[in-house]
Amino acid sequence: MSMKVLVLGGTRFFGKRLVEHWAAQENVEVTVASRGNIAFPFDSRVTHIMLDRTNEGSLRHAAELEHWDVVYDHVCYSAEAALAAANVFEGRVKRYILTSSLSVYEAGTQGDEGFREEDFDPSTYPVRIAGDEVVSYQEGKRQAEAVLIQKATFPVATVRFPIVLGTDDYTRRLHFHIEHVQQGLPIGLPNPEADIGFIHSSEAARFLAWLGDAEIKGPINAASSGTISLNELIGKIEVAVGKTSIIQSEAEKEHSSPFGITSSWYMNTKRAAKAGFAFDSLEEWLPHLVQQISSTE
């Protein structure tokens, strides 16, 4: 009997890589539900359905197509969206995996080994349905985790990723720094000495695929092994492009770094490692990625 996998979102970046992984497996049927705003990037091995993630009826239609073995949710950013999922997938899914974020942690409060999962506990976090009120990305992800963990009747894992990098990063966050150094533009970095963690898009997809077969429930951190200071990262870019950077503590918005953290920001991944996942070393792939992007810009 085929395994049924549903991916909410998943037409670009690490979501696309995840779909490609499952589509290549025998006896796995993959369905991607998306808004259809970009061309569907998969062949006939992958089924496509249209989805308005903000509409519970649309989400219910996706849920009721099958009894799903695994559902991956890349597009849940609020208590309302999470509550809709808890309602419509009840009795229809064996395992639900929410893509969450390092952002759920309070910056500046981590220990020397990085944020641990218990530093933000969604099982006790107060649920607040905000309605039309706009909440921050951080609060939206906190609420999404809290609602699913507290109210879903099916097993839920919430994956906390740091900033995800790759040549396929449509937000072009690493590209921003490389382009600025190449063009002699200033980069606003409030704390160049801050240490930061990352994960490669291919590794993020590999982790999500692994988690689909695991029995882990609740929050779990996922990041490449090791950290790097922003100064060190800029240094690698300078070597790759052969130019010196212009670093400023403050800059206009268009020149402010998307990595502009004020204090170190990274996670502890011992829980995932203890469960058997082997993370890549940041030092092994990041310099190569910098070189790749530098040569194409």
Per-residue model confidence (pLDDT) at position 255: 97
The pTM assigned to this predicted structure is: 0.95
> In the numeric block, which tokens belong to residue 53?
């993630």
Per-residue model confidence (pLDDT) at position 267: 97
Q: E strands along the chain, which residues?
A: 3-8, 28-34, 46-50, 70-73, 96-101, 156-161, 163-165, 186-188, 195-196, 198-200, 218-221, 228-229, 246-248
Instruction: Count the helices and strands in the chain (H runs, E runs).
Output: 9, 13
Per-residue model confidence (pLDDT) at position 132: 67
Domains along the chain with CATH numbers: 3-163+198-221 (3.40.50.720), 167-197+225-264+281-296 (3.90.25)
User: Tens digit of pLDDT for each residue in 182-226?
Assistant: 999 999 999 999 999 999 999 999 999 999 999 999 999 999 999
Query: Which burial class, exposed, middle or buried, applies to 131 when counting CB atoms under 10 A from its CB (0-12, 13-18, 19+)?
Result: exposed
Per-residue model confidence (pLDDT) at position 133: 80
Per-residue model confidence (pLDDT) at position 90: 98
Residue segments in the chain with a per-residue pLDDT below the cut of 50 = none
Per-residue model confidence (pLDDT) at position 10: 87
Q: How many CB atoms lie within 10 A of CB 88?
A: 19
Residue 102 DSSP code: G
Per-residue model confidence (pLDDT) at position 109: 85
Helix H, strand E, coil C: the string for 193-255 is: CCEECEEEHHHHHHHHHHHHHCCCCEEEECCCECCEEHHHHHHHHHHHHCCCCEEECCCCHHH
CA–CA gap between residue 263 and residue 57 (Å, rounded):
42
> In the numeric block, which tokens belong to residue 216?
């882990």
Per-residue model confidence (pLDDT) at position 107: 85
